[in-house]
Amino acid sequence: MEIAFEYRIDARGHTAGASEDEHVRDLIEQVLFTAPGERVNRPTFGSGLRGLVFEPNGEALAAATEHTVQGALQLWLGEVIVVESVDVVAVESTLEVTLSYIVRRTEERRIVTVARETP
């Protein structure tokens, strides 16, 4: 059992836990929605994805975003997952990322969609 992200206390008053699938999803979300420079001791951690929401929309941006996301996931989670595909959609103030990946330890294929409102 891993520690849940975001950190919280469960109903028993203990640190909340997460299954392996939840933990991997939490790691993906942290990489996607952390801006480089946001973590004090890891200044290059993250993908910068949220900042791309304010760029002009188009095919070039979509391709660049998918490339940026895939690169960040390979860099930071390459030992945990194999990224198969990335689809990024921005609708108004919400950024939605659908990711297809394989968990290296179990060789199971997963598809996850994470969304975050931009400030």
pLDDT over 70 at 55, yes or no: no
Please report the pLDDT score of residue 15 as a whole number.
Answer: 85
Mean per-residue pLDDT of the chain = 83
45 compared with 64, residue with greater pLDDT:
45
Fold of 24-117: Nuclear Transport Factor 2; Chain: A, (3.10.450)
- Domain ranges in the chain are 24-117
Please classify residue 49 by burial: count the beta carbons closer than 10 Å to its beta carbon, then call 0-12 exposed, 13-18 middle and 19+ buried. Answer: buried
pTM of the model: 0.78
pLDDT over 80 at 3, yes or no: no
